[in-house]
Amino acid sequence: MKQVYNFNAGPAALPLDVMLQIQDELLDLQGTGLSILEISHRSKEYENINGETQQLLKELLNIPSDYEVLFLQGGASTQFAMVPMNFLTGGRKASYLHSGTWSGKAIAEARKIGETAIAESSEADHFKKVPNLNRMKIDPETAYIHLTSNETIAGTQYQNFINTGEVPLFADMSSDILSRPIDVSNFALIYAGAQKNLGPSGVTVVIVKRKILERIPASIPDIMNYRIHANKRSLFHTPPVFAVYIVNLMLKWIRNNGGVKAIEQRNYRKANLIYSTIDKSGGFYNGLAHPESRSMMNVTFSIFNEGIEKHFLQEAEQNGFVGVKGHRDAGHLRVSIYNAVTYEQCQALTDFMLDFQKRFG
């Protein structure tokens, strides 16, 4: 079997163990004689998968009991619209922290629904840092505050969060959910497309405080209404059965690997290995993000000479390193080292980087 080093930004690497299990039970799901691809979402088997997956997420992330876990469709991009449709109501104003491409898209959607302000922005710094949360003024009348915990394209990440008191804090955690422990109680709503850290594309996880569901107007379409999905336990309509099943396996894999704290330590070692290779290169490699805002998930960097950078990409591809090209908005290079990427794969990359530098530095 041909195997490469997968540093894709999303959809991204899945653990080999998880894929082998999918393969193993594809034709016969746990003795039912049916495939996960052909069972009813109203079956006992799927009810169990649905309930167990919610429970696993609650345990792994230490989600308080007054929160709901939802499995929705349409990706994080649908959440950019759903969040303001549900909560930018009553003539109030939403407040967004602008940290790059993804928050920009969230802001653009919110502006179609209602009054939207930018509380803090790092655009003037070319998104090399995350906007400062402590500098933000919080108006108690704000409908909600929205941030992007990890900016996948710029390669920046919040290291700490704040408690915004009575004003609900919402977060797009698509590219760093379950990569580290977080205090869920700081947030009224968290959403994440699964295809970076949680599983395949096709399902979006939403963690929402039950209390704020009361604010949702009845006038919005049911399919876009969080309260409807919560009341129906994510079975309002046909859910993405296969994707939720893979998230289930992925969560068990995280549990079997010591839980989120252990995953965080592993992620820290992986990121540290690559960043220190960049920092010790004497300016051959340069990190794009400000050191204080560096992401543990997406390492963005450049090479001092554009021609050599092109050559790096060619050689990386020849040597089986996939997904190393930066997003077109940031350019240069990016390696995504989500939960499923191993330390050994990061080691192979840094060995390659060191060898390349020796030859071209």
User: What residues form the annotated binding site for L-glutamate?
Assistant: 42
Q: Which two tokens stand for residue 261?
A: 């704290």
- CA gap 76, 61 in Å, rounded: 19
**How big is the CA angle at 130 (ends 291 and 332), to the nearest 5 degrees?**
60
- Check residue 131 for interaction with ligand PLP (CB under 6 A): no
Q: Is the CB of 71 or the CB of 102 nearer to ligand PLP?
A: 102
Please pick, among 129, 172, 176, 253, the residue that the annotation labels catalytic.
Answer: 172
- Check residue 200 for interaction with ligand PLP (CB under 6 A): no
How many chain residues touch ligand PLP (CB under 6 A)? 11
* Amino acid symbol at 173: M
Scanning 234-258, the segments in alpha helix (DSSP H) are 241-256
- CA gap 27, 37 in Å, rounded: 9
Please, which residues bridge with residue 98 across strands?
121
Q: Residue 202 in contact with residue 244, Cβ under 8 Å?
A: no
- Check residue 277 for interaction with ligand PLP (CB under 6 A): no
253 catalytic residue (yes or no)? no
**How big is the CA angle at 241 (ends 236 and 242), to the nearest 5 degrees?**
160
Query: Interaction with ligand PLP in 150-169: which residues (CB under 6 A)?
Result: 152
351 catalytic residue (yes or no)? no
Q: How far is the CB of 13 from ligand PLP (least distance, A)?
A: 15
Please pick, among 128, 129, 196, 270, the residue that the annotation labels catalytic.
Answer: 196
- Check residue 242 for interaction with ligand PLP (CB under 6 A): no
Window contacting ligand PLP (CB under 6 A); options: 70-78, 205-213, 261-269, 276-284:
70-78
- Check residue 148 for interaction with ligand PLP (CB under 6 A): yes
Q: Residue 286 in 3-state DSSP?
A: strand
Query: Interaction with ligand PLP in 90-129: which residues (CB under 6 A)?
Result: 102
172 catalytic residue (yes or no)? yes
- CA gap 250, 340 in Å, rounded: 9
- Check residue 76 for interaction with ligand PLP (CB under 6 A): yes
Instruction: State the binding site.
Output: 42, 76-77, 102, 152, 172, 195
- Check residue 295 for interaction with ligand PLP (CB under 6 A): no
- Check residue 239 for interaction with ligand PLP (CB under 6 A): no
Other beta carbons within 10 Å of 258: 12
- CA gap 70, 107 in Å, rounded: 23
Q: Is the CB of 149 or the CB of 164 nearer to ligand PLP?
A: 149
Q: How far is the CB of 357 from ligand PLP (least distance, A)?
A: 29
Window contacting ligand PLP (CB under 6 A); options: 71-79, 128-136, 138-146, 324-332:
71-79
* DSSP E strands, the chain: 5-6, 67-72, 94-98, 116-121, 144-148, 150-151, 156-157, 169-172, 189-193, 204-209, 285-287, 298-303, 321-322, 333-336
Q: How far is the CB of 204 from ligand PLP (least distance, A)?
A: 7
Q: Which of 45, 68, 120, 172 binds ligand PLP (CB under 6 A)?
A: 172
- CA gap 36, 265 in Å, rounded: 33
- Check residue 75 for interaction with ligand PLP (CB under 6 A): yes
Task: Summarize as ranges the residues that interact with ligand PLP (CB under 6 A).
Answer: 10, 75-77, 102, 148, 152, 172, 174-175, 193
Annotated active-site positions, please? 102, 172, 196
